[in-house]
Amino acid sequence: MNRKIWGGILATLIIIILAAPGRALPGGEEEAAVKKVIEEAYVRGVHIDRDVPAMRSGFHPEFNMLILKDDNIVTYPIDKWVESVEKSKKDHPQPPAHKITYKFPWVDVTGNAAVAKIEIYRDDRHIYTDYMSLYKFPEGWKIVNKIYHGHMKK
């Protein structure tokens, strides 16, 4: 077989795999909904606006951030995180002076579960790579878990 035929077969197989039942197509509505929740609750709610109601609407009440500290896992529940955002906004009421940008290298949705990789930049300096897990509830997608890597020098 020539290259054109093999290329066509390969393209067809990729489309079949991506369109398999329970798998959202890239750029689909579910992927967009997942990105929107992360953008509003996390990027804007935590990093840009420090907007507690936005955080509460996008994070599940049972959310935990898992932090690797001295080879141990430390959990950071949403209520503690919200308190720290509220304190930050109270202590420094002016919006942050730095510019926050972000990228989604990938989002994967299967049925009512999703994972996303998000890169956060402060003044064009990469500060966090986050991996978030989400579930879809009757009211929509909610962030249920996060792990991350901090790129900042301490």
Interatomic CA distance for residues 73 and 61, integer angstroms: 20
Per residue in 106-154, pLDDT tens? 999 999 999 999 999 999 999 999 999 999 999 999 999 999 999 986 5
pTM (2 decimals)?
0.80
Phi (first) and psi of residue 80, to 5 degrees: -65, -40
pLDDT surpasses 80 at 85? yes
Identity (one letter) of the amino acid at 82?
V
Q: Which CATH number fits domain 27-150: 3.40.190.290, 1.10.3720.10, 3.10.450.50, 3.40.50.1220?
A: 3.10.450.50
Interatomic CA distance for residues 98 and 121, integer angstroms: 10
Lowest mean pLDDT among 15-29, 64-78, 88-102, 112-126: 15-29
